[in-house]
């Protein structure tokens, strides 16, 4: 019903929950208040986990990180994927991966520079994070096409940003999906900046959602800070894709409160007043107002929610930092189900090199030890 009622070519945007927490009941998705309360609690953990990651990077305990502060409702769209669906993320989907059920400690470990953070539990239908901007929609289309050919009942969901929407890979992916009617859902989180470039500097189109028509499938513009709108559009798009109706494009209009990554300084391209103007549309604030109006939230309960969230995040940090370092040969172990001879050969070469280095290191240490009082090896001195 959502895709039919809201035409992006007319500038229409799906919004169910306004900034004061009031609901348009005729648009309300099939979500109970209890489920909304549970989702709010998970979004609270998600936000604290994101803020903690930013702090860890500043302390030198984590590498470059891409925060999603302000985009929690859009990231929560992953909560509506079914067990047969695949999530295909970019580098900003830490929140979506968390909502998909991946352990927070693993996600932290990935951002600490350990590829084992992308070694997901068996049966998890999630592809590793894609760093190359705009590449992952192609992967999602190929994956969903294969699922379609094999009779797999699921869909593949590709996440990307408004900046990535200007990449040729994204257009190729949507064109292919439209021609072959693959079960693909394209989710564009339009946080209004491609690093420092505003959306208006990327495209003359009124919005990104209307591009879907050019590829022969429906698109919809959604208030991406409205969890109920996100849930309704996502659920409908997934159902259509699984039923064989082809792909869908959802543009989730949101706002990035923080930097593009921890290497970015957003004050160079926007003012503090610009950011403050978007604070009333904060997705968690809107949910609190909604739940409060239903008697399902209070300041006292908020303190309990945050205390539980803090304990969960702190335990994830401890677990991530307690993981022993991975051996260098790990780089060969998780790319292919069965390693081809070329990779096996390279792995053997690395092992031999490391053993040789270890042997030389031991010999040099022994040489130094043979000269009491000297910090230099004895070789060459007779």
- Per-residue pLDDT tens digits for 35-71: 999 999 999 999 999 999 999 999 999 999 999 999 9
Known catalytic residue at 256: yes
> Of 282, 83, 74, 247, nearest to 161 (Cα)?
74
Q: Looking at 28, 269, 289, 368, which residue is catalytic?
A: 269
Q: Which residue carries 């069965």 as its tokens?
A: 338
Share of the chain above pLDDT 90, in %: 85
Q: Looking at 47, 260, 286, 288, which residue is catalytic?
A: 260
pLDDT exceeds cutoff 80 at 188? yes
pLDDT exceeds cutoff 90 at 80? yes
Q: Looking at 47, 125, 139, 256, which residue is catalytic?
A: 256
pLDDT exceeds cutoff 60 at 120? yes
Share of the chain above pLDDT 70, in %: 96
Going from N- to C-terminal start, the domains of the chain cover 2-322, 332-369
Known catalytic residue at 211: no
pLDDT exceeds cutoff 50 at 232? yes
The answer to whether the CB of 169 falls within 8 A of the CB of 130 is: no
Distance of CA 73 to the CA centre of its chain: 12
Residues 239-298 have pLDDT tens digits of 999 999 999 999 999 999 999 999 999 999 999 999 999 999 999 999 999 999 999 999
10 Å Cβ neighbour count for 193?
A: 22
Q: Which of 1-15, 119-133, 138-152 has the lowest mean pLDDT?
A: 119-133
pLDDT at 330: 83
User: Across the chain, how many H-helices and E-strands are there?
Assistant: 12, 8
CA angle 58/190/293 to nearest 5° reads 85
DSSP 121: P
Superfamily of 2-322 according to CATH: Thiamin diphosphate (ThDP)-binding fold, Pyr/PP domains (3.40.50.970)
> Of 41, 100, 69, 51, nearest to 287 (Cα)?
41
Known catalytic residue at 171: no
321 Cβ contact list (under 8 Å, min separation 6)? 61, 112
């Amino acid at each position: 019903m959502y895709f039919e009622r809201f035409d992006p070519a007319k500038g229409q945007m799906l919004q169910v929950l306004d900034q004061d927490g009031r609901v348009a009941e005729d648009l309300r998705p099939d979500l109970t208040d209890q489920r909304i309360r549970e989702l709010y609690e998970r979004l609270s953990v998600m936000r604290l986990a994101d803020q903690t990651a930013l702090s860890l990077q500043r302390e030198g305990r984590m590498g470059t990180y891409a925060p999603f502060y302000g985009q929690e409702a859009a990231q929560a769209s992953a909560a509506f994927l079914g067990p047969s669906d695949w999530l295909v993320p970019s580098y900003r989907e830490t929140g979506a991966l968390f909502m998909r059920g991946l352990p927070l400690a693993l996600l932290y470990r990935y951002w600490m520079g350990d590829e084992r953070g992308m070694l997901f539990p068996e049966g998890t239908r999630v592809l590793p994070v894609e760093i190359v901007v705009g590449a992952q929609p192609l992967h999602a289309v190929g994956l969903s096409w294969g699922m379609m050919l094999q009779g797999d009942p699921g869909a593949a969901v590709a996440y990307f940003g408004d900046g990535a929407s200007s990449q040729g890979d994204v257009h190729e992916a949507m064109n292919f999906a439209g021609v072959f009617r693959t079960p693909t859902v394209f989710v564009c989180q339009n946080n209004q900046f491609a690093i420092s470039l505003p959306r208006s500097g990327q495209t003359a189109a009124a919005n990104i959602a209307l591009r879907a028509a050019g590829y022969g499938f429906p698109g919809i513009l959604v208030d991406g800070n409205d969890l109920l709108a996100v849930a309704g559009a996502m659920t409908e798009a997934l159902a259509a894709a699984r039923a064989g109706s082809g792909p869908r494009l959802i543009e989730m209009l949101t706002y990035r409160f923080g930097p593009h990554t921890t290497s970015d300084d957003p004050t160079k391209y926007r003012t503090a007043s610009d950011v403050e103007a978007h604070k009333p549309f904060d997705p968690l604030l809107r949910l609190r107002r909604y739940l409060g109006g239903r008697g399902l939230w209070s300041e006292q309960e908020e303190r309990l929610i945050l205390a539980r969230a803090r304990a969960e995040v702190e335990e994830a940090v401890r677990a991530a930092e307690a993981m022993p370092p991975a051996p260098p040969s790990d780089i060969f172990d998780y790319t292919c189900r069965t390693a081809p001879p070329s990779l096996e050969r390279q792995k053997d070469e690395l092992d031999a090199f490391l053993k040789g280095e270890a042997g030389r290191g031991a010999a040099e240490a022994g040489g130094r030890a043979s000269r009491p009082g000297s910090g230099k090896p004895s070789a060459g001195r007779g």
